[in-house]
Structure 1
Amino acid sequence: MPRTKKPPYQACPVARAADIMADRWSVLIVRDAFDGLRRFGEFQKSLSIARNILADRLHTLVEAGILSMEPASDGSAYQDYVLTAKGEALFPVVVSFRQWAEQHLFQPGEPHSVLVESKTGRPIRKMAPSTRDGRVLGPQDAFVRKLQS
């Protein structure tokens, strides 16, 4: 699917995020960056992605401020792709995707990777939108207040 230019103005935050992240490869690159991958070749090997597509997605993520390019940590001539603070803020998004898939895309007992807390090794708690006092919200409990034309 060819990538299109961004529309001029999007008042919807979901639409703006989709302009950058609603691409399989972009999400998987960010996932791999959370897993510690930093080099072009590491991303390519992990994803089995064509070099030109990977280069395009990395460029888009750098341009959007989600990744930055830094001199290689080992002092070689290579560049590392490193999550920025803006990129690290995508962690809950990636976790939500993962948890949704675990619940809806695997059969009971079907093996899959598990996200665990580093200190305890235990699976992390399911994420859910909640009120300030901790009550879990469903779609019926919220609405979007749209801009007035």
Structure 2
Amino acid sequence: MISIAGWWRHLRLRLTGKELILTGKCRQCGACCRRLQLEQSRRWLRSHRAFKRLVKDHPEFNRFEICGRDRQGLLVFNCTKLGADNRCHDYDQRPQLCRDFPHKGIFFCGGALPPGCGYKITEGVPFETHLRKARNKSGSHS
């Protein structure tokens, strides 16, 4: 679910020709498996009942347990498959949410990468844009 700040960020990126660029690698800190939020039908989970519906519809989410709420009242979850070594003990069966981490979309919904994460998301002009401009420039001089 995109936030107002996320909508502005998206608009600014489009107007400046920039994109979010992902760099880095996993440091196996386990932070992405702790204190995360889940959504269903493009809505953040706020109730135990909503979480039970999510698990009923998508049993792979039974790996998460509610560990509290954030300042906005949204449910916060930990993954029960995270071992003491900060590795997933069910890696081959992890849900798509985990496979897609880190997803650039978290910045459009008001989220951020967890502290200590080895990934970094920055704003920049994609290489393809620079390449296309260089090709157009050299092609116009022929």
More strand by share: 2
TM > 0.5 between the two? no
| TM norm structure 2 | 0.28
Q: Which has the larger radius of gyration?
A: 2
